[in-house]
C-alpha cells in the first residue's frame, strides 16, 4: 500500500487484510468530508467480493476494475466514483447512490438494486486494457424505484430486470436490451430509446411523454394505460391496438413474444383456444406459432400481423382483416373465413430450420383444408403451395397480379 499526494493506493487482487482496508476507508471518509489527514482511496483491480460495507461513503473513490460481487452495499455512496469495469454481480445495492459515477463496462447481473440512484451516471460500454469492450449488464436485477434520470447507458443489457416505478427521465438508452423487463409505472419522459428491444416487456401505466422510440422493437410489449400520442414511433415494431386489450391478454402476448424469440427457451406459447377476440385490434401483433383453435376472431384486425405457423383450426374469422399478414405455414383447417380480407398476405410454405438456425430442407405449407373462404379476398396474396383440399371458394377472389 503506497501513500502519496493525499491518496491511498491498493493494487492487485485484494492484497490487504481487514485492518488495512479499514484504514483506507477511514482515511477516505476524512477525505470526503474535507478533514485534515484525509486521503482519497484508489483501489484498482481489488477483490472485495463478499464483504459487508453498508452505508460507507466511497464518493470520488477510484475503484476501477474492482470486484464487489456478492457484497452487501446497501446505502453506500459511490457518487462521482470511478467504477470503470467494476463487478457488482449478485451484490446487494439497495438504496445505493451512483450519482454521476463512471460505470462504463460495469456488470450488475443478478444484483439487488431497489431504490438505487443512477442519476447522470455513465453506463455505456467499456473495457479495461486488453479486454474486449462489453456493455453494462443489468439483466435479472431488481431496480424497482431506482433513478436513471439523465443516465447514459447506450447498448446496455437489462433483460428480465424489474424496474417498477423507476425514474428514467431524459435517459440516453439507445440500443438497450429491455426484453422481458418489468417497467410498470416507470417514468420514461423525454428518454432517448432509439432501436431499443422491448420484446415482451411490461410497460403498464408507464409515462412516455416525448420519448423517442425510433426503430424500437416493441413486439409483445404490454402497453395498458400508456399514452403514446407524443412519443416518436417512427419505424417502430409495435401493435398499438393491442394496448387496448385486457391486461391478461396483453401479458399473454408478451410471454408469447419471448417464447417465439427464444425458440421456446423463454416465455410461453400463447393459447387463445376458445377465446372471444371478436373485434380485437391485433394489427402488427407478433403471434407466430400461437394457438387460435376454435377462437372467435370475427371482425378482428390482424393486418400486418406475424402469424407464421399459427393454428386457426376451427376458428371463426368472418369479416376479419388479414391484409398483408404473414401466414406462411399457418393452419386454417375448417376455419370460417367468409368475407375475410387477406389481400397482399403471404400465405405460402414456411421453411423449417434446425436448432442451429440452418435450413432442414423441409417446408411446411399453409393449409385451408375444409375451410369456408366464401367471398373472401385473397387478391395479390402469395398462396403458392397452400393446401386447399375441400375448401369452399364460392365468390373468393384469388391470384397475383
**At 389, which CATH number?**
2.160.20.80
List the one residue out of 142, 183, 136, 138 whose CA is nearest residue 164.
Answer: 183
Rounded CA separation 101/97 (Å): 9
**Per-residue model confidence (pLDDT) at position 10:** 39
Residue 137 forms beta bridges with which residues? 107, 157
| Locus of grid cell 474492482 | 66
* Torsion over CA: 160, 163, 164, 168 (sign): negative
Q: Rounded CA gap, 333 and 331, in Å?
A: 6
Look up the pTM and report it: 0.86
In Å, how far from its chain's centre is CA 293? 29
What is the C-alpha separation between 193 and 238, in angstroms, rounded? 14
Number of domain units in the chain: 1
Report if residue 287 sits inside a domain: yes
- 91 Cβ neighbours under 8 A, 6+ residues apart: 68, 69, 70, 71, 72, 73, 108, 111, 112
Burial of 221 (0-12, 13-18, 19+ CB in 10 A): buried
What was the pLDDT predicted at 13?
43
Give the C-alpha separation, 172 to 55, whole Å.
Answer: 29
Residue 310 lies in a domain: yes
| Cα–Cα distance for residue pair 241/251, rounded to 1 Å | 14
Q: Quick one: which of 168, 169, 164 has its CA closest to 184?
A: 164
- Residue 302: inside a domain, yes or no? yes
Is there a domain that residue 354 lies in? yes
Buried b (16+ CB within 10 A) or exposed e, 55-80: ebbbbbbbbbbbbbbbbbbbbbbbbb
Instruction: Assess if residue 242 is contained within a domain.
Output: no
Longest dimension (CA), the chain: 94
In this structure, the number of other CB atoms found within 10 A of the CB of residue 261 comes to: 21
Give the domain range for residue 305: 271-401
According to the model, what pLDDT value does residue 16 have?
Answer: 64
> Does residue 381 form part of some domain?
yes
User: Does residue 124 lie in a domain region?
Assistant: no
**Residue 282 counted as domain residue:** yes
Mean pLDDT, each 10-residue run in order, the chain (401 residues):
39 60 92 93 92 93 95 96 96 97 94 96 75 80 96 95 97 97 98 98 98 97 97 96 94 96 92 97 96 98 97 98 96 98 93 70 90 98 92 92 61
Amino acid at each position: 500500500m503506497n501513500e502519496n499526494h493525499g491518496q491511498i493506493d491498493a493494487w492487485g487482487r485484494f492484497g490487504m487484510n481487514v485492518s488495512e482496508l479499514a484504514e483506507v476507508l477511514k482515511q477516505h471518509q476524512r477525505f470526503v468530508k474535507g478533514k485534515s489527514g484525509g486521503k482519497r482511496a484508489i483501489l484498482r483491480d481489488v477483490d472485495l467480493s463478499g464483504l459487508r460495507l453498508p452505508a460507507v461513503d466511497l464518493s470520488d473513490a477510484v475503484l476501477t476494475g474492482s470486484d464487489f460481487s456478492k457484497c452487501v452495499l446497501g446505502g453506500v455512496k459511490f457518487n462521482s466514483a470511478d467504477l470503470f469495469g467494476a463487478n457488482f454481480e449478485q451484490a446487494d445495492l439497495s438504496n445505493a447512490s451512483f450519482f454521476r459515477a463512471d460505470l462504463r463496462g460495469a456488470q450488475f447481473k443478478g444484483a439487488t438494486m431497489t431504490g438505487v440512484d443512477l442519476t447522470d451516471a455513465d453506463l455505456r460500454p467499456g473495457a479495461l486494457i486488453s479486454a474486449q469492450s462489453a456493455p453494462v449488464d443489468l439483466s435479472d436485477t431488481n431496480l424497482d424505484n431506482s433513478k436513471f434520470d439523465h443516465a447514459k447507458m447506450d447498448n446496455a443489457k437489462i433483460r428480465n430486470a424489474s424496474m417498477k416505478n423507476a425514474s428514467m427521465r431524459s435517459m440516453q438508452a439507445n440500443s438497450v436490451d429491455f426484453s422481458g423487463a418489468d417497467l410498470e409505472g416507470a417514468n420514461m419522459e423525454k428518454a432517448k430509446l432509439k432501436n431499443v428491444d422491448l420484446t415482451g416487456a411490461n410497460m403498464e401505466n408507464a409515462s412516455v411523454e416525448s420519448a423517442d422510440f425510433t426503430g424500437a422493437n416493441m413486439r409483445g410489449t404490454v402497453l395498458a394505460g400508456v399514452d403514446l400520442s407524443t412519443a416518436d414511433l417512427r419505424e417502430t415494431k409495435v401493435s398499438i391496438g393491442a394496448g387496448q386489450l385486457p391486461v391478461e391478454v396483453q401479458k399473454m402476448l408478451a410471454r408469447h413474444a419471448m417464447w417465439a424469440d427464444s425458440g421456446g427457451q423463454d416465455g410461453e406459447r400463447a393459447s387463445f383456444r376458445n377465446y372471444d377476440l371478436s373485434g380485437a385490434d391485433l394489427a402488427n401483433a407478433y403471434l407466430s406459432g400461437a394457438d387460435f383453435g376454435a377462437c372467435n376472431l370475427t371482425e378482428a384486425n390482424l393486418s400486418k400481423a406475424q402469424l407464421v405457423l399459427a393454428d386457426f383450426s376451427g376458428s371463426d374469422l368472418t369479416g376479419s382483416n388479414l391484409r398483408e399478414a404473414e401466414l406462411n405455414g399457418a393452419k386454417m383447417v375448417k376455419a370460417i373465413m367468409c368475407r375475410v380480407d387477406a389481400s397482399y398476405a403471404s400465405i405460402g410454405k414456411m421453411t423449417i430450420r434446425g436448432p442451429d438456425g440452418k435450413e432442414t430442407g423441409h417446408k411446411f405449407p399453409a393449409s385451408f383444408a375444409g375451410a369456408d373462404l366464401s367471398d373472401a379476398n385473397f387478391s395479390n396474396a402469395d398462396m403458392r403451395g397452400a393446401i386447399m383440399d375441400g375448401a369452399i371458394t364460392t365468390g373468393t377472389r384469388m391470384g397475383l397480379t
